[in-house]
Structure 1
């Protein structure tokens, strides 16, 4: 077997075992909906409910799809492989995160669009970090649940709170250009990606 055929076979098997074709199609659809919603609400940044529906729920939905794709159907094979699997897990997570960030980074062109775009990208990175860590703790299939609970709790708790600290722990709800929110989201992303790369998703039963 030629090196090219062997490489394509390996990549193809990995992609199919993780359900990457479907994950990529759904991720593209979610990102397209988020971009369309952001364009339609351009200039309505302060409208009631707009922040939660677009800037928070959009990236959270994309991160949930990325987290679900981290499912490993053969945990024993991964652990006993000759070559370490952490580079594959890390590239997988970073590649999907980058693919989701690109359309979100090109969102909007009107008043306030820079802050909206920054918030979308920041929240995507932070939510991916939460789902990656959750995949290690509860499994990839349920990795969306801790992320949803975390973001929902932060959104509710930060609505009436003022002060510098809320800019850090309330990062999903902050304007896009706040340095503290970016720092918190980046730290969450790095820690979640590192934990997932080092440990891998929690073993789960076979698919029904």
Structure 2
């Protein structure tokens, strides 16, 4: 319980619940509005909701009592790894449940993939910027991809534009999983950078 109290676990849970409700409402509205083209109209939801979930997962790694953590007689990297994996799994499952209709296109499959990739990117950023600012590079990347990626991506474009690709796209999955593995490993082993005042 001390581990959960020294981090923002309650904030993560509240953020996830709020994000899921907003994502569900927006996805339903977009799919019911004819001018957005059905399931493909959910691209903004499938691209941006994972960003909020990832910011909450990695943001919860911020330690509110660093001196307590440094005196703990346990391997911190294992606890961080468990928190990242568990937070990612729960976030992916909850957000995927908000877009079950036509799940293969821009639905549950794409949502789960994007949560995995976004958490990896945010975890990697936290090593350089800290847990509280880890959302910033993720926001810049996701927004840039959403605004600039072609809607009919091919070849290498699929890999860098993974947040806007349909669910079953293998190259998009490979990019998201690679980001997750690298980001979660780096963050678990090194930990998020301490805020400037704590260094």
Query: TM-score interval w.r.t. the shorter chain?
Result: 0.7 to 0.9
Deviating beyond 6 angstroms after TM superposition, the runs of 4 or more aligned structure 1 residues are none
State yes or no: 1:125 paired with 2:104: no
Residue in 2 aligned with 1:28? 17
1:179-190 to 2 correspondences below 5 Å: 179-190=170-181
Residue in 2 aligned with 1:138? 129
Please, what is the CA RMSD of the aligned residues? 2.2
Query: Distance in 1 between the 2:140 and 2:73 partners?
Result: 38
- TM-score normalised to the size of structure 2? 0.86
Structure 1 unaligned residues grouped into runs of 5+? 1-10
Structure 2 unaligned residues grouped into runs of 5+? 33-37
Greater CA drift, 155-164 or 82-91:
155-164
Aligned residues: 192
Residues 52-97 of structure 1: CA deviation (Å, up to 9, x unaligned): 2x11111111111112111123445534543220111011111111
C-alpha change, 1:46 and 1:23, in structure 2 (3 Å) is closer
The answer as to whether partners of 2:130 and 2:195 remain within 8 angstroms in 1 is yes
- TM-score normalised to the size of structure 1? 0.83
Higher Rg of the two aligned structures: 1
C-alpha deviation, 1:101, in angstroms: 1.3
Given candidates 55, 61, 64, the residue that maps to 1:73 is: 64
